[in-house]
């Protein structure tokens, strides 16, 4: 059996990333005990990730790179916001416990949508937040192996995700 649409795929991989000529850093590593299990071709993964796994078989190894434009994009200055410091107050006092440079914070936009952002700078009366994806501008490098491939069940296809071990549980 080979990997294509509506197959449940189990892989083990090592993902590293880097910006331009920087040294690569480990982003994520799965293991045989905790592999990555997903349904192929349902649009939940980076298209280039799937393209590089298409038609592989159990036991096949892979080693591929994805450029930033095909991964999580390039940083967008419009995704960096200068927010009044009083937006981070709890009971009238700035939340210095939670709001620290480099911290990741969940916030809501004006429409109530949740956004994950990183605190870049804390000024006297503002906080600069970066809402770009943490891997924006990063070149990704995946090295791994296909551990298992099976047909997705009709229920998994209807729901658009894997059920059972390594997948979603209802």
- Rounded CA-CA distance 5/88 in Å is 45
Give the residue carrying structure tokens 């080693």.
63
Distance in angstroms (rounded) separating the CA atoms of residues 85 and 96: 11
**Strand partners for 52:** none
- pLDDT tens across 34-46, in order? 999 999 999 999 9
What domains are defined for the chain? 7-70+137-159 (3.10.50.40), 77-130 (2.40.10.330)
3-state secondary structure 17-70: EECCCCCCEEEEECCCCCCEEEECCCCCCCHHHHHHHCCCECCCEEEEEECHHH
Please report which confidence band the pLDDT of residue 135 belongs to, taking 50, 70 and 90 as the band edges. very high
Say how far apart CA 5 and CA 15 lie, in whole Å. 23
Lowest mean pLDDT among 27-31, 37-41, 137-141, 161-165: 161-165
Please give the model's pTM, rounded to 2 decimal places: 0.83
């Amino acid at each position: 059996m080979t990997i294509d649409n509506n197959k449940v795929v189990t892989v083990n991989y090592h993902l590293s990333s880097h910006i331009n000529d920087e040294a690569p850093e480990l982003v994520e590593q799965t293991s045989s005990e905790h592999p990555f299990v997903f349904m192929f071709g349902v649009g939940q993964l980076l298209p280039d990730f799937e393209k590089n796994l298409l038609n592989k078989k159990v036991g096949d190894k892979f080693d591929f790179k994805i450029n930033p434009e095909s991964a999580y994009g390039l940083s967008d200055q419009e995704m960096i916001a200068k927010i009044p410091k009083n937006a981070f107050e709890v009971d009238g006092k700035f939340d210095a416990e939670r709001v620290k440079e480099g911290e990741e914070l969940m916030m809501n936009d004006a429409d109530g949508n949740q956004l994950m952002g990183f605190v870049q700078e804390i000024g006297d009366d503002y906080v600069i937040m970066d809402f770009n994806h943490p891997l924006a501008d990063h070149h990704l490098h995946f090295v791994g192996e296909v551990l298992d491939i099976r047909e997705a069940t009709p229920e998994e296809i209807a729901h658009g995700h894997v059920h059972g071990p390594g997948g979603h549980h209802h």
